[in-house]
């Protein structure tokens, strides 16, 4: 059953919905957009979505390990949540340690929750999840490869000269950390 009709009004509603989907979550293909719009009650084809994407100026941008649709505004400025994470890491020194497939991020008191939320909302998507205390944050991974990709990506958010671990070794943003080491 088509809920959203046809005509100019339907096109405007459909395009607003398409923008909402793109701004809300990473969408990598027109097929994904077709399914989402159909789920919202719009009768669309891939050709319709292609025309809408073109009219709206949507572009594909790299996010994590794939390309996703973005509006011209977010493509030009990057992911707003990525910007927030970058700003937090510029203001709050974070030390990174590792134990198996988990990373331990140690920050200033009261900041772990904000950093965890910024990580969860950012384009960092390799993690299984985050768990925050007051100044300590755990980042959990399913595979070694995902953890390594995450470290590289996370390092791009940290300012130059990122903090070292207590044993004097550089944080993962600067170099590798041996297994079973965590900040104290």
If one compares 39 and 155, the residue with the highest pLDDT of the two is: 39
Highest-confidence range of 57-61, 77-81, 96-100, 118-122, by mean pLDDT?
96-100
pLDDT at 25 over 60: yes
- How many whole angstroms separate alpha carbon 128 and alpha carbon 108? 24
- What is the C-alpha separation between 73 and 68, in angstroms, rounded? 14
pLDDT at 24: 82
Percent of the chain whose predicted confidence (pLDDT) is above 90: 47
- pLDDT band for 6, please (50, 70, 90 cuts): low
pLDDT band of 5, cuts 50, 70, 90: low
Rounded distance between C-alpha atoms, residue 94 and residue 105, angstroms: 6
Return the residue matching tokens 């990580």.
119
pLDDT at position 169 is: 39
pLDDT in tens, 40-75: 999 999 999 999 999 998 888 876 667 888 887 776
Task: Say whether pLDDT at 2 is over 60.
Answer: no
Residue spans per domain, the chain: 8-77, 80-155
Return the residue matching tokens 């297994």: 179
Per-residue pLDDT at 100 exceeds 70:
yes
Is the pLDDT at 184 greater than 50? The verdict is no
Q: How many CB atoms lie within 10 A of CB 124?
A: 23
- Domain 80-155 classification at class level: alpha beta
Mean pLDDT of 146-171: 67
Instruction: Return the number of other C-beta atoms located less than 10 Å from residue 19's C-beta.
Output: 15
Cα separations in angstroms, 50 against 41, 69, 122, 146, 157: 18, 12, 26, 32, 33
- Fold category of 8-77 in CATH: Arc Repressor Mutant, subunit A (1.10.10)
Element (H, E) at 106: strand 102-106
Judge contact between 158 and 136, C-beta under 8 A. Answer: no
pTM score of the predicted model: 0.51
Of residues 51 and 163, which shows the higher confidence score? 51
């Amino acid at each position: 059953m088509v809920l959203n009709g046809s005509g100019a009004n339907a096109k405007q509603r459909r395009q607003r919905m398409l923008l909402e989907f793109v701004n809300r979550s990473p969408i990598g293909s027109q097929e994904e957009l077709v399914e989402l719009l159909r789920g919202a009650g719009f009768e669309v084809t891939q050709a319709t979505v292609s025309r809408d994407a073109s009219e709206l100026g949507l572009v594909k941008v790299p996010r994590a390990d794939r390309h996703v649709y973005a509006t011209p505004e977010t493509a030009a400025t990057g992911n707003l949540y990525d910007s927030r994470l970058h700003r937090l890491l510029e203001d709050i020194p974070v030390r990174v340690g590792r134990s198996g497939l988990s990373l331990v991020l140690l920050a200033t008191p009261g900041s772990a929750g904000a950093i965890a939320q910024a990580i969860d909302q950012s384009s960092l998507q390799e993690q299984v999840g985050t768990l925050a205390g007051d100044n300590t944050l755990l980042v959990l991974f399913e595979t070694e490869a995902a953890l390594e990709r995450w470290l590289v990506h996370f390092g791009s958010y940290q300012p130059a000269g990122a903090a070292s671990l207590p044993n004097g070794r550089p944080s993962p943003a600067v170099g590798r950390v041996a297994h079973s080491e965590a900040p104290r």
